[in-house]
Structure 1
Amino acid sequence: MVTTSPWHLAFVQRHGAKLSESRDTGPGPTGSLGFEAGGVWQHATAVVSDNLRGGAYDAELATTDPLRRIHVGIVPTGPGVVSVIANVVGSTSGVGHAGIAFGAPRGERQLGFGERSNAVDQRGNTVENYVAEGPYQPDERPFIAAFVPPAGYHPRDDAAYFPMPWLLSTRGYGFLLDGGPTSNFRLGTDQPGAWSAEVEGSEIAFRVFAGPRPAGALSRMTAAVGRQPPAAAAFYFGPWFQPEGGNQPSIDRLRAADAPASLANTYTHYLPCGAQQGHTASEGALTSLFHGAGLAVTAYFNPMICTSYHPVWDQAVAQNVVTKNQFGQPYVYKYTGSTVFLVGQMDFTAPRALPFWNGLLGEAVRNGYDGWMEDFGEYTPSDARSADGTPGPQMHNLYPALYHRASLLFAQTAPRPLARFNRSGWTGAARWSQIVWGGDPTTGWGFDGLQSAVYNGLTMGLSGVSLWGSDIGGYFSLGTNQLTPELLIRWIEMGMTSGVMRTEGTGFALPAKPRAQIFDPDVLPAWRRYAKLRTQLYPYLRAADAEYQRSGMPVMRHLALVYPRDPRAVARDDEYLFGPDLLAAPVLEPGAKTRSLYLPRGAWVDLWRSASFAVRPGELHLGRARLLAGGRRVVLPA
């Protein structure tokens, strides 16, 4: 709905909420459609000319800047989906941002935004949409900044490996910024009753998705930008582990404990530097060992190539499949792993990139691997040049989708099902991401640790990603942070109720310190219990994945997706539905003996007080069901 004088834009659902352009003004983009030039925001005032043809609306708008106007195009692109593109008409010199703001009634929660660690409801925050490492804990950031290239790191609490410029409102609409520019949402920070979106550059493009409920808007969005592929193999849904203390001993310990597993994560780094060179026989023996135990096994790749990796680096340069600098030479930067390497990165827009990439991945498959960690993807510099001409600032955010697309296209031609798990992403990356994992969290209970892992899973689900899992146990143990048996057990419990159940066995500790393992005597019984339960839930998980394919409903379901009219359910960010029928409330505090949670409306079976776990066979036996009435808060044993 458009009002011409004064200019005003609103989106009205037949049976849902109205999204109306803000009439307030304030700092930043708060107000009508506008742009920033020289630090001052100018806004649309009235329609100068317009045209409506075939459902598409075009208009030229006068603004508070007498020398510049705004052209806007509004087009329905599907049932319940409207696309808007607006750009500055006149000189764009000095124009730094384009933006728009909308009203935000009291009580509205603003969810989504890709994978975020600081919050699930971002109302009251400024959220940056930029692919980066992190967030890491504040006192860790100076250490991290010394090792990560500047393009890959913004020291912010909302930093994200897999951001999406996507807002899902509990009022039942979704808003998605299109394209690759870095952008920001200001969610009540400039005006408490308004939120805004601003994009670097002189053009803003976005889509609005109708609900009328949040799940409906999410379904429309995921149908438009793509959902994750269906799980390629049963082993996706079983317990994954990282061998510790030797491959055969790890297998033997799990077998002796009768602890099921479906996949072993190993980390021979085929890239960046070719750690497999000269080890073809031992690589084949390693994969055969795990296959003989009935396990799938993964290797490691990232999109970088060491300049010392010969002849691969020389071939990549000769075939022009490496990202270039402004002088047309391979863009080389420092990458820190076990040591510091000079690397370039694949340019997946280059004409020969896909065949070249296929050759690198194919070596691992020929050696027997069933997939790999598909690491990184966050480091594209702003002054990089790609073969297709995409500017560096936009390619930075678009790169992960191109990277994961290339890998999935290869995986779909492989002689057996493969599992790739990646951490980086952006809008559109989900359709190329078989599995997403949450990057490198801190081995702690709170921010960037276990609590944030819950936030990560929920925000990913609210952004259209279902097969997601965290590093069970965390990765970075810096300073006093340490993985204790209690923390590991609580993380195992949370991991069991994630899209993917996957442990991290080593991580990085400074100073060096002991790290609890799933094989430890005080942890193994808990690992076995939840690995058994995970395995027994296989049909349930398969059905949940099929539902995601149909509707975009994730495995980890924020209660707003299922109970949108229950305000107390919508407000919970520390519990969720695991599939359609199981309510999960991970224990997030050390030493907890009880757990307070909200039961949504209806009748619930208290599983742990209605079933007994038979230790020897590792089976749950249902006794007399203990029913709990919903619509209230309850306190249960932890």
Structure 2
Amino acid sequence: MQPVAPTNAYAVKYYPEAVLRWEREGNFFYFYTQDVVLEVKVISNHIVRFRYAPDGRFQRDFSYAINPEFKESVTRLDYSEDASCIRIFTEQLQIQIDRQHLLVSVLNQEGQLINQDEKGFHWQHYQQKGGKIVYCSKYIQQDECFYGLGDKPTDFQLRGKRLENFGMDRYGYGWNVDPLYKNIPFYYGLHHGIGYGIFLDNTFRTFFDFGQERADVCSFWAHGGEMCYYFIYGPSLMDVAARYTQLTGTPDLPPLWSLGYHQSRWSYYPASKVKEIAQEFRKRKIPCDVIHLDIDYMDGFRCFTFHPEGFPDPAGLMRELADMGFKVVAIIDPGIKVDPNYFVYREGIAGDYFCKRGDGAWMEGDVWPGRCVFPDFTNPKVRTWWSRLCKHLTDVGIRGVWNDMNEPAVFEIGTFPDDVRHDYDGDPCSHRKAHNVYGHLMSKATAEGISRYLMPKRPFVITRSCYAGAQRWTSVWTGDNTASWEHLFIAAIQCLRLSISGISFAGSDIGGFIGEPTPELYVRWLQMAAFHVFMRTHSASNETNFHQEPWAFGEKNEFIARKFIKLRYRLLPYFYTTFWQYSTYGYPMLRPTVFADQHDVNTYNRADEFMLGDHLLISPVHAPGLKTKTVYLPAGEWYNFWNDDLVQGKQSIEVRTPLTEIPVFVRAGAMIPQFPQMEYVPEQLQFQEMILDAYFTHGVQETVLYEDAGDGYGYRDGQYRVICFTLQGKSDQLQINRTCTGSFKPLYQQYRLVCHGLPFTATKYEVDGQVYAITQSRSGGTKKILKITIPADFQEIIIR
């Protein structure tokens, strides 16, 4: 090793010396220097793991992030060497290991440089805490952009930023506050039209510098553990996202109702208030599927209990709500009240399930119940115990669980001290190593319990804190935001960033958790959230008696809120299909415009717009009083959702933004499936007609529709279907072909086909060779919208 002369005793850094020898074992390559061993594991043609042992000994090869079911696949693996370097070849990549300093360069198969070490791996001894601080530094390529890292409330493009992962409770956080709740050490690089990703799989406190300290250097480091990172090649950003999500795990399909509208407050109390809110939704015909119960439903904030006076008959309450079409999600926190009369505390003490300090005392701290102890979720026995406790909730009819305060948060001191000990699945450690996975594993244990006891129904879990890979079992929200226009924009950035960081099932507290939004702010926030994957209004208004339901801001604003919530429910088939693509292939549900066209430099720094799935583009209104706003459309043709204006992409346009609308555009050639209007997702979808909005294009475009029962696990046994619609437009006709796979049979028998933008006057149409005359069409100004009813099992439609 080569020490660098320090400016003080703490700053001594060491670097690898020359490679003395190397060897190959299957898809592993090992490179040995005097003190350091580099392990290169080729996982697939596009994914390579780099792992360093600065003292020659690797730590346990273990990860809470990597999907245990991920299948490695390498179709080509060769190597060569010369006096300067050793080269490893896959079908897509060339990895070069410099013999002199163990530096790594990654090139694509055409020989273009993708990623290159600057100083590469180096380290220093962490004198105050123990272990080593491990670093890696790389050159920033010309005009390189960076994205990712989860819920950071900062500019979408990260060039010039330094950011940190160490989950913290940030009540009322603001712009550029860091670190925040979640710990997702994964980022994208993009230069010369080439996209790649780097995932640093290290649960210690980690840091990322994207050229802040040195403008031409990107570096990342951790305050302990190994330097272990995955390089993920695209070259498209969408493929990087898919490969990262597959590596860390794709989610199961959620219950369809969880994609509906959720209503919450701190707190709806007592049970009569919960019923009153539910009845008001139905009376006002505002769609809603879920009511959340915050901490006051518990007996003295004791998890897995109900307040004996406020909620004397929880099972009866759940039955009444279910009869109205509502599901209930209940909050739980990790803090367990120190109370010998409390069954959870007694069981935890008897089983030795709670975290301890370095000297063996219980880790105690004040949270909502007062003095609390905290389960060690890194212990598999504790996770099993916690999972079993979930039966106390499901037995009364709770359909989902909300995990909060699990960074972990502790009043006055912030979080656990470093000396707290954890099992870490059989590899005991301090809290320094376990902190960033504490909430991650709490939500995992919760999901395992809810899944078991709700069987055969699907679970719904949401968490505030997590680590990479949590998308396998949970959704997330962005934490304790405020009722401000700044936070509306922050929410847009956070949900988009979380989506490309593997966690698409994300949302924010509509209107802001802290404070009171103006009617305009609430409406604009709800309009944006109608296109986010998790849609929930939540507010901290228990002391002020301020209400934040959709009808709380006057009749005019209630009308607009109802309009957008209804639109959300009509679009549920599109949301569900997009979730299936995420679950099956790993594609993010929300996508920045740079993901739509990474060769268009105008998209690189934009977050004013986002794509929802393949075909919808949304541009939220982030400021008060706006009558118009500028929207940038990626390449292609786009229809204004509200008036069918057809606009050429790859340009900025000015769009009207009355309070009743936000800019929404549909890709030309798309087929947008819609449900008839509903006030909640029923146990069985019983409507007789599905709506298909077809948007004309000159050329060919494909749209996918995924369908299953919306709950249960029949889809795992083939009870689903995937329909592919191929739309082909010509100057004088529109042709739509339909192919179908899968055995699921929905109840509806017909489509109401709504054709937008036809450049000709249609007089007839054919369905599988049978000709019908067109007797009427509806005009919208100078635009014509053709509506026809066709059988749901058609194979070909031709409109002339």
**TM-score bracket for the superposition, by shorter chain length:** 0.7 to 0.9
- The answer as to whether partners of 1:92 and 1:202 remain within 8 angstroms in 2 is no
Deviations 1:1-27 (A, max 9, x none): xxxxx99xxxxxxxxxxxxxxxxx999
- The answer as to whether partners of 1:131 and 1:378 remain within 8 angstroms in 2 is yes
1:329 paired residue number? 361
Is 1:462 aligned to 2:503, yes or no? no
1:620 paired residue number? none
- Residue 443 of structure 1 aligns with an amino acid whose one-letter code is A
CA–CA distance in 2 between the matches of 1:373 and 1:528?
25
- The answer as to whether partners of 2:378 and 2:438 remain within 8 angstroms in 1 is no
Correspondences of 1:351-390 after superposition (within 5 Å):
352-379=381-408, 380-387=416-423, 388=426, 389-390=428-429
CA–CA distance in 1 between the matches of 2:540 and 2:5?
49
Q: Which has the higher helix share?
A: 1
User: Which of 273, 280, 291 matches 1:264?
Assistant: 291
1:551 paired residue number? 585
Deviations 1:435-480 (A, max 9, x none): 211111111111xx11110111111011011111111111122xxx
2:460 paired residue number? 419
2:634 paired residue number? 600
Is 1:58 aligned to 2:21, yes or no? no
User: Which of 387, 394, 399 matches 2:438?
Assistant: 399
Deviations 1:243-289 (A, max 9, x none): 76923332332223221111112222479524515367421232122
2:324 paired residue number? 293
Q: Taking structure 1 as reference, are residues 202 and 277 closer, same or farther at Cα in structure 2, changes over 3 Å only?
A: closer
- The answer as to whether partners of 1:475 and 1:508 remain within 8 angstroms in 2 is no
What is the CA distance between 1:381 and its match in structure 2?
3.6
- The answer as to whether partners of 2:5 and 2:12 remain within 8 angstroms in 1 is no
Is 1:632 aligned to 2:651, yes or no? yes
Correspondences of 1:410-489 after superposition (within 5 Å):
410-415=449-454, 416-433=457-474, 435-446=475-486, 449-477=487-515, 482-489=516-523
What is the CA distance between 1:217 and its match in structure 2?
1.3
What is the CA distance between 1:202 and its match in structure 2?
6.3
CA–CA distance in 1 between the matches of 2:237 and 2:33?
32
Is 1:306 aligned to 2:346, yes or no? no
- The answer as to whether partners of 1:271 and 1:302 remain within 8 angstroms in 2 is no
CA–CA distance in 1 between the matches of 2:354 and 2:466?
20
- Residue 363 of structure 1 aligns with an amino acid whose one-letter code is H
- The answer as to whether partners of 2:188 and 2:197 remain within 8 angstroms in 1 is yes
Correspondences of 1:104-115 after superposition (within 5 Å):
104-115=140-151
What is the CA distance between 1:214 and its match in structure 2?
1.2
- Secondary structure at the counterpart of residue 421 of structure 1: strand
- Residue 490 of structure 2 aligns with an amino acid whose one-letter code is S
Cα RMSD of the aligned pairs, angstroms, is 2.7
What is the CA distance between 1:417 and its match in structure 2?
3.0
What is the CA distance between 1:316 and its match in structure 2?
0.9
CA–CA distance in 2 between the matches of 1:403 and 1:230?
21
Deviations 1:585-605 (A, max 9, x none): 000011111111101111110
Correspondences of 1:112-191 after superposition (within 5 Å):
112-134=148-170, 136-137=172-173, 157-170=177-190, 171-191=194-214
Q: Taking structure 1 as reference, are residues 93 and 467 closer, same or farther at Cα in structure 2, changes over 3 Å only?
A: closer
Q: Taking structure 1 as reference, are residues 444 and 395 closer, same or farther at Cα in structure 2, changes over 3 Å only?
A: same
Deviations 1:151-196 (A, max 9, x none): xxxxx71222112111112231110111311111111012211200
TM-score w.r.t. the length of structure 2 is: 0.66
What is the CA distance between 1:303 and its match in structure 2?
1.8
- The answer as to whether partners of 1:124 and 1:189 remain within 8 angstroms in 2 is yes
TM-score w.r.t. the length of structure 1 is: 0.82
- The answer as to whether partners of 1:172 and 1:212 remain within 8 angstroms in 2 is yes
- Residue 115 of structure 1 aligns with an amino acid whose one-letter code is D
What is the CA distance between 1:43 and its match in structure 2?
2.6
What is the CA distance between 1:562 and its match in structure 2?
2.1
What is the CA distance between 1:89 and its match in structure 2?
2.2
2:139 paired residue number? 103
Q: Taking structure 1 as reference, are residues 299 and 138 closer, same or farther at Cα in structure 2, changes over 3 Å only?
A: closer
What is the CA distance between 1:524 and its match in structure 2?
1.4
User: Which of 605, 610, 625 matches 1:591?
Assistant: 625
Percent of counterpart pairs with the same letter? 23
- Secondary structure at the counterpart of residue 97 of structure 1: strand
User: Which of 42, 56, 59 matches 1:76?
Assistant: 42
- Secondary structure at the counterpart of residue 114 of structure 1: coil
Q: Taking structure 1 as reference, are residues 96 and 353 closer, same or farther at Cα in structure 2, changes over 3 Å only?
A: closer
- Secondary structure at the counterpart of residue 163 of structure 2: strand
CA–CA distance in 2 between the matches of 1:123 and 1:27?
28
- The answer as to whether partners of 1:376 and 1:423 remain within 8 angstroms in 2 is yes
The runs of 5 or more residues in structure 1 that have no matched partner are: 1-5, 8-24, 29-35, 63-68, 140-155, 611-624
- Secondary structure at the counterpart of residue 432 of structure 2: helix
Larger radius of gyration: 2
2:260 paired residue number? 238
User: Whose RCO is larger (CA < 8 A, sep 6+)?
Assistant: 1
Q: Taking structure 1 as reference, are residues 524 and 208 closer, same or farther at Cα in structure 2, changes over 3 Å only?
A: same
Q: Alignment length, in residue pairs? A: 559
CA–CA distance in 2 between the matches of 1:603 and 1:347?
53
Q: Taking structure 1 as reference, are residues 26 and 601 closer, same or farther at Cα in structure 2, changes over 3 Å only?
A: farther
The runs of 5 or more residues in structure 2 that have no matched partner are: 57-123, 409-415, 658-800
- The answer as to whether partners of 2:537 and 2:549 remain within 8 angstroms in 1 is no
Is 1:214 aligned to 2:237, yes or no? yes
- Secondary structure at the counterpart of residue 517 of structure 2: coil
2:728 paired residue number? none
CA–CA distance in 2 between the matches of 1:168 and 1:26?
33
Is 1:276 aligned to 2:306, yes or no? yes
What is the CA distance between 1:513 and its match in structure 2?
8.2
Q: Taking structure 1 as reference, are residues 515 and 332 closer, same or farther at Cα in structure 2, changes over 3 Å only?
A: same
- Structure 1 runs, 4 residues or longer, greater than 6 Å off: 25-28
User: Which range is displaced more, 39-48 or 387-396?
Assistant: 39-48
What is the CA distance between 1:55 and its match in structure 2?
3.9
What is the CA distance between 1:514 and its match in structure 2?
4.5
What is the CA distance between 1:376 and its match in structure 2?
2.3
- Residue 131 of structure 1 aligns with an amino acid whose one-letter code is G
Is 1:198 aligned to 2:221, yes or no? yes
2:557 paired residue number? 523
What is the CA distance between 1:517 and its match in structure 2?
3.6
CA–CA distance in 1 between the matches of 2:201 and 2:476?
22
- Secondary structure at the counterpart of residue 46 of structure 1: coil
- The answer as to whether partners of 1:113 and 1:164 remain within 8 angstroms in 2 is yes
Deviations 1:542-584 (A, max 9, x none): 1000110122112211122221112212321121001211111
- Residue 477 of structure 2 aligns with an amino acid whose one-letter code is W
- Residue 331 of structure 1 aligns with an amino acid whose one-letter code is M
Q: Taking structure 1 as reference, are residues 71 and 38 closer, same or farther at Cα in structure 2, changes over 3 Å only?
A: farther
CA–CA distance in 2 between the matches of 1:525 and 1:181?
49
- Secondary structure at the counterpart of residue 273 of structure 1: coil
- The answer as to whether partners of 1:483 and 1:515 remain within 8 angstroms in 2 is no
1:225 paired residue number? 248
User: Which of 342, 366, 370 matches 1:341?
Assistant: 370
CA–CA distance in 1 between the matches of 2:5 and 2:506?
39
